[in-house]
Structure 1
Amino acid sequence: MIVRIMGEGQVKLDDSHFAELNKLDDELLAEVEGGDEEGFRRTLGALLDAVRRLGSPLPADALEPSELILPAPDASLDEVRGMLTDDGLIPG
């Protein structure tokens, strides 16, 4: 799966990593819904770090269709709230 982190670029992730990412996504969803700014910052950072650590960056000039778009590291709680679905940022 190709994942785009807004403002950074694209990363190719193996589907086997989505259980770990979904756990962080569930935490992030709860923090956004509860208005927990500190928890939100911590978990968003952990989610993006996990994507970077587990994935392989695509070249800057690659223009692959992204199957998942994640917010930039400096996104606000309200910006991320607008990106959320019932499943969070990551479907499933």
Structure 2
Amino acid sequence: MIVRIMGEGQVEIGSSDIDVLNALDTELEAAIETNDEDVFRSKLHALLEKVRQVGRALPDDSLEPSELILPPADASIEEVREMLGDTGLIPG
């Protein structure tokens, strides 16, 4: 799966990493629901860091279509809330 982190670039993640990312996504959603800014910030950073860690960075000139777009690390709760789908940021 090709994932774009807004403002950073694209990474390719394997299907075996989706469950771990979904768990972090669930924690992020819970922080958004409770409007807890500190927990939200922590969970957003943890999710993005895990994507960077398990993903393989694609070259900057790569034009692969992104299957998933994640917010930048400095996104607000409201910005991320608007990006949430029925299954959070990470489908599956």
TM-score where L is the length of structure 2 = 0.98
2:50 partner SS: helix
Q: Which runs of 5+ in 2 are unaligned?
A: none
2:64 partner SS: coil
Counterpart of 1:30 in structure 2 is 30
Q: What is the count of residue pairs matched by the alignment?
A: 92
Residues in 1 aligned to 2:86 and 2:41: alpha-carbon distance in whole angstroms: 20
Residues in 1 aligned to 2:80 and 2:48: alpha-carbon distance in whole angstroms: 13
Residues in 1 aligned to 2:91 and 2:19: alpha-carbon distance in whole angstroms: 11
What is the letter of the counterpart of residue 8 of structure 1? E
Corresponding position: 1:81 with 2:84 = no
1:72 partner SS: coil
What is the letter of the counterpart of residue 27 of structure 2? E
Counterpart of 1:12 in structure 2 is 12
What is the letter of the counterpart of residue 25 of structure 2? D
Identity percentage of aligned residues: 62
Residues in 2 aligned to 1:32 and 1:15: alpha-carbon distance in whole angstroms: 26
RMSD of aligned residue pairs (Cα, Å): 0.5
What is the letter of the counterpart of residue 73 of structure 1? A
Counterpart of 2:51 in structure 1 is 51
Residues in 2 aligned to 1:86 and 1:25: alpha-carbon distance in whole angstroms: 12
Structure 1 segments, 4+ long, off by >3 Å, are none
TM-score where L is the length of structure 1 = 0.98
